[in-house]
């Protein structure tokens, strides 16, 4: 049994004696915790040799294009079946069954890429099982500065990681927290915090750390630098576009929407039209830090 704590939630992976977690899963190591008695995990993922046969119907298939993983979701009487491949048309790396609340799941590894399969199963389960618990798995790069976290949103290739790098280079005291999938969470006391996660894209940055959210900034490429604060409605749309999990489980949408609605009233959100230069980082920092 392997126990991990991500964004305050306990996650559990159960493996048979003959099955070891792949060495490539070292991204989970900073989040590993001792066995916790009496605490109910957010979810338990059981690695199995074979999955039971189920009669399932197609529900959703990703279509993000070349270079992105392909995920197929089917529904059956007791829950959902997921299949995922590292790239469209590539062999299936893992198949898992999850109950309707995403609290219990069984994963069958095919041996194609076990680390990829495990990480994707964990990411999907986290996004869905935390939907009603105030957490959002974001597609963002986030830095820490002066005890606060600053999230940079944007479509792939728009410069999120570049902007984080510019802060690290030009804004003293800046440190990268996560470069792809941080967890944005509304705490029980009403505060907003951002957490590092075991999933950080191509940048190996796996920090079991968290800080209050200072601001959220959507990055857009432009011929000159300009920053603008968003209205609550604009902020809601900006965050929703970068939050994982809105498709295709509409029954979970209410939880995500409630979290977003609360967050945009507590956290200042901006759009930064910018060049990939020092001036953009300094303009952003001066605006959001002030």
3-state secondary structure of 30: helix
Q: Who has greater pLDDT, 290 or 209?
A: 209
Q: How far apart are the first and last CA of the chain?
A: 46
Supply the pTM of this predicted model. 0.93
| Residue 18, CA distances (Å) to 47, 48, 49, 96, 118 in order | 11, 10, 10, 19, 17
Strand partners, 47: 107
- Rounded distance between C-alpha atoms, residue 76 and residue 99, angstroms: 10
Domains of the chain: 2-129 (no CATH), 136-289 (3.90.228.20)
Percent residues over pLDDT 70 in the chain: 95
Share the mean pLDDT of the chain: 92
Contact (CB, 8 A) for 197 and 137: yes
pLDDT band at 36 (very low <50, low <70, confident <90, very high): confident
Strand partners, 11: 4, 43
pLDDT at 21: 65
Q: Which among 92, 197, 86 is positioned nearest to 136, based on CA atoms?
A: 197
Mean of pLDDT values over 124-132: 93
- Rounded distance between C-alpha atoms, residue 9 and residue 153, angstroms: 24
pLDDT at 104: 96
- Rounded distance between C-alpha atoms, residue 70 and residue 20, angstroms: 25
pLDDT at 156: 82
In the predicted structure, residue 18 carries a pLDDT above the cut 60:
no
Classify residue 201 by burial, with Cβ atoms within 10 Å: 0-12, 13-18, 19+.
middle
pLDDT at 67: 81
- In the numeric block, which tokens belong to residue 221? 């490429």
């Amino acid at each position: 049994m392997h126990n991990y704590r991500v964004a305050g939630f306990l996650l559990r992976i159960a493996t048979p004696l003959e099955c070891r977690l792949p060495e490539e899963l070292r991204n989970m190591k900073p989040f590993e915790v001792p066995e916790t008695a009496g605490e109910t995990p957010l979810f338990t993922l059981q690695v199995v040799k074979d999955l039971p046969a189920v009669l399932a119907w197609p529900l959703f298939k990703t279509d993000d294009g070349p270079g992105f993983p392909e995920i197929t979701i089917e529904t059956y009487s007791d829950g959902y079946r997921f299949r995922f491949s590292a790239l469209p048309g590539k062999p299936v790396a893992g198949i898992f069954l999850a109950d309707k609340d995403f609290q219990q799941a069984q994963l069958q590894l095919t041996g194609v890429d076990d680390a990829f399969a495990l990480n994707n199963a964990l990411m999907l389960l986290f996004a869905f099982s935390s939907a009603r618990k105030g957490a959002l798995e974001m597609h963002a790069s986030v830095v820490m500065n002066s005890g606060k976290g600053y999230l940079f949103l944007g479509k792939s290739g728009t410069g999120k990681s570049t902007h984080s790098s510019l802060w690290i280079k030009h804004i003293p005291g800046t440190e990268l927290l996560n470069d792809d999938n941080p967890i944005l969470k509304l705490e029980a006391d009403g505060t907003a915090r951002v957490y590092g996660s075991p999933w950080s894209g191509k940048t190996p940055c796996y920090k079991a750390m968290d800080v209050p959210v200072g601001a959220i900034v959507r990055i857009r490429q432009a011929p000159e630098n300009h920053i603008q604060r968003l209205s609550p409605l604009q902020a809601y749309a900006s965050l929703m576009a970068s939050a994982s999990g809105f498709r295709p489980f509409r029954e979970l949408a209410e939880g995500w929407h409630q979290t977003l609605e609360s967050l945009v009233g507590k956290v200042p959100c901006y759009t930064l039209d910018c060049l990939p230069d020092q001036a953009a980082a300094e303009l952003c920092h001066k605006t959001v830090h002030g």
